[in-house]
Amino acid sequence: MITLKFGGTSMANAQRMISAMHIMESRLNEQRISVVVSAVAGVSNLLQESITGAIASTNITPFIIKIIQIHHEICTDIEKQIPSFMIKNVQEKLQTHFDEYEKLLRAVATFGECPLSIYCRIMGIGELLSSIIIEQLLLAKQKKVILLDSRQFIFTSGNQSEGDPLYEKTDLHFIPYRDDQSKAKFDLLLFPGFICSWVSPDESVHMGLLGRNGSDFSAAIIASALNAQKLEIWSDVDGIFSADPRIVKDAILIEKMTYEEAMELSFFGSKVLHPKTLSPLIAKNIETWSLNSHNIQAKGTLIGKGPFETQGHHVCGISCLKDTAMISVLGSGLKGKKGIAARIFSAVSRAGISILLITQSSSEYTISFCVLQKQANHCKDALINEFDLEIKTGIILPIAIEENTAIVSIVGDGMKAKRGVAGRFFNALASSDINLLAIAQGSSERSISCVIKGNDGDVAVRSAHQFFFNTNQI
Ligand code: ADP
Ligand code: MG
């Protein structure tokens, strides 16, 4: 069994879907496969916009028409090329979801709000729609495909729209479909990505999601639960590059990287992989490939246990996480006083906010950390609440937020053994006149991150890339 994941970029139109189908066919000649698909490119964003629009009581009909149109156009284009594609069957199945979408969106518009459970149901429609088209495409090619509803297999807890898998419960549902089990006769298991079932604290089960761009995570969970030998993540780039190729034109393709390097890069903003993807794969040492469905000849990037040769570079990648904010807690109350840091972090965690990076000044006078910009005010409120008394008495100063920051990180297993890497990074940023707001090193010594102003993000990445990879960006 191998698992293949096709992102939105591989589901963008009829041609891309047909190419994806050919890739599935070629793998299927060799072994059983499980396939995870994302929504058609742009659909998740459109669904998100439609929710925002409905809350603001803008006319929702254009959104519904657009969603229907995108999918119908793909179906008619496929039918032109593959006459055995049963368009009527597909359209009937799609219609059920269009109706559901309209019903939910009207409710949001009527009430002017979108509770999380409705949000999950609307956002998950994109994957339900695309998987129906792919199923029919495979049936048209006489493949023995079974479309399985991921909500009956993947269970999460925690945040409903960004859940943490309940691995034991999830595994139990997948076991019958493993190679040596009763349902191994199904050669091609197809799953919509992103969606799952969420088990609430009162044990009731609702539709949940795995976080934006969560299909990579779905694929990792499925590969792990099915004991797959390999996971292939098909996207629109030749693999993982030393930096986002959209920002750095001559970024270098990385042949091999360790799970930890990939994890760090994705955590710090490389969109090519969803940050939580790696942990289920590490646990079972599942060989993972980042591949290009628009260029199947490209070798791709292997992500594995390593250690791998560094291709002469101690840094394997540079990433940038935008739309963050830096929050600082400062005041004489912090110095030498036990437990303040613990109180800060537990208050933030109770508010359901994840911390991206932490630094402390050597005088112990300030603790700064970064969170997503959209959570910054909520985070500030949580801290004001926690330190109400200390702020009133002046031993802690009013909580400061530096809005719209970016975190630029250099990542590489080889950094540990090489001196002067940090210095070179800071020089790179200084040479472009970029002001450093804070610096942090990952405890694994596998990454160094700098917090800078959001607008400087792209320049910082290009400048660091030039210093570490000798390319001519500036
Ligand atoms: P998919 O829809 O297939 O999941 P994404 O758009 O989520 O595709 O991810 C692919 C994109 O990730 C690429 O088009 C590329 O611009 C971006 N990207 C960011 N950082 C990197 C990197 N280091 N290497 C390769 N691609 C990257
Ligand atoms: Mg993606």
> For ligand 1, is residue 42 a contact (CB within 6 Å)?
no
DSSP string, 184-251: GG--EEEEESSEEEEE-TTS-EEEEEB-TTTHHHHHHHHHHHTT-SEEEEEESSSS-BSS-TTTSTTP
pLDDT at residue 362, as a whole number: 67
Kindly report the average pLDDT of the chain as a whole number: 94
Closest of 184, 160, 185, 164 to residue 174, by C-alpha: 184
Q: How confident is the model at residue 311 (pLDDT cuts 50, 70, 90)?
A: low
> For ligand 1, is residue 469 a contact (CB within 6 Å)?
no
More confidently predicted of 395 and 3:
3
3-class DSSP assignment, residue 363: coil
Q: Which atom of ligand 1 is nearest to the CA of 243?
A: 23
pLDDT at residue 361, as a whole number: 75
Residue 72 has pLDDT above 50, yes or no: yes
Bridge partners of 400?
328
Q: For residue 264, how far is its CA from the centre of ligand 2 (angstroms)?
A: 16
pLDDT at residue 472, as a whole number: 56
Rounded-to-integer distance, Cα 117 and Cα 24, Å? 33
Rounded-to-integer distance, Cα 143 and Cα 72, Å? 23
The pLDDT tens digits of the residues spanning 11-22 come to 999 999 999 999
- B/e letters for 361-379, b = 16+ CB within 10 Å, e = fewer, are eeeeebbbbbbbbebbeeb
- B/e letters for 441-468, b = 16+ CB within 10 Å, e = fewer, are ebeeebbbbbbbbbebbbbbbbbbbbbb
3-class DSSP assignment, residue 97: helix
Span 90-96, average pLDDT: 98
Rounded-to-integer distance, Cα 101 and Cα 63, Å? 10
Q: For residue 12, how far is its CA from the centre of ligand 2 (angstroms)?
A: 13
Give me 441's structure tokens. 């090193």
Q: Whole-prediction pTM value?
A: 0.92
Rounded-to-integer distance, Cα 186 and Cα 175, Å? 13
Residue 81 has pLDDT above 50, yes or no: yes
pLDDT at residue 85, as a whole number: 97
Residue 349 has pLDDT above 50, yes or no: yes
Give me 254's structure tokens. 């990385």
Residue 474 has pLDDT above 60, yes or no: no
Atom 5 (ligand 1): residue with closest C-alpha? 272
Give me 365's structure tokens. 């006078």
Q: In what order do the strands lie in the sheet with 33-37?
A: 145-147, 188-192, 33-37, 2-6, 230-235, 287-292, 301-304, 256-258
Span 371-391, average pLDDT: 96
Could you say which DSSP state residue 409 is in?
Answer: E
More confidently predicted of 34 and 338:
34
> For ligand 1, is residue 38 a contact (CB within 6 Å)?
yes
Q: What value does the CA radius of gyration of the chain take, rounded to a whole number of Å?
A: 24
* HEC assignment per residue over 12-56: CCHHHHHHHHHHHHHHHCCCCEEEEECCCCCHHHHHHHHHHHHHC
Q: How confident is the model at residue 339 (pLDDT cuts 50, 70, 90)?
A: confident
Atom 10 (ligand 1): residue with closest C-alpha? 272
> For ligand 1, is residue 288 a contact (CB within 6 Å)?
no
pLDDT at residue 246, as a whole number: 94
Task: Please give the single-letter amino acid code of residue 1.
Answer: M
> For ligand 1, is residue 335 a contact (CB within 6 Å)?
no
Q: Which atom of ligand 1 is nearest to the CA of 254?
A: 24
Residue of 35, 272, 274, 462 to mutate, ligand 1, most atoms within 8 A of C-beta = 272
Is the separation of the CB atoms in 406 and 321 below 8 Å?
yes
Is the separation of the CB atoms in 174 and 226 below 8 Å?
yes
Closest of 121, 127, 171, 97 to residue 35, by C-alpha: 127
Residue of 11, 35, 43, 244 to mutate, ligand 1, most atoms within 8 A of C-beta = 244
Q: How confident is the model at residue 181 (pLDDT cuts 50, 70, 90)?
A: very high
Residue 144 has pLDDT above 50, yes or no: yes
Ligand nearest to the CA of 243: 1
Contacts of 451 (CB under 8 A, 6+ apart): 324, 326, 357, 359, 368, 370, 402, 405, 406, 407, 436, 437, 438, 439, 440
Span 337-342, average pLDDT: 84
Rounded-to-integer distance, Cα 256 and Cα 318, Å? 15
pLDDT at residue 473, as a whole number: 45
> For ligand 1, is residue 317 a contact (CB within 6 Å)?
yes
pLDDT at residue 60, as a whole number: 95
Q: How confident is the model at residue 301 (pLDDT cuts 50, 70, 90)?
A: very high
More confidently predicted of 75 and 268:
75
More confidently predicted of 455 and 307:
455
Q: For residue 300, how far is its CA from the centre of ligand 1 (angstroms)?
A: 13
Q: Could you tell me what percent of the chain has a pLDDT over 90? A: 86
Residue 302 has pLDDT above 90, yes or no: yes
Q: Which atom of ligand 1 is nearest to the CA of 41?
A: 2
Q: How confident is the model at residue 418 (pLDDT cuts 50, 70, 90)?
A: confident
> For ligand 1, is residue 214 a contact (CB within 6 Å)?
no
Q: For residue 194, how far is its CA from the centre of ligand 2 (angstroms)?
A: 11
> For ligand 1, is residue 9 a contact (CB within 6 Å)?
yes
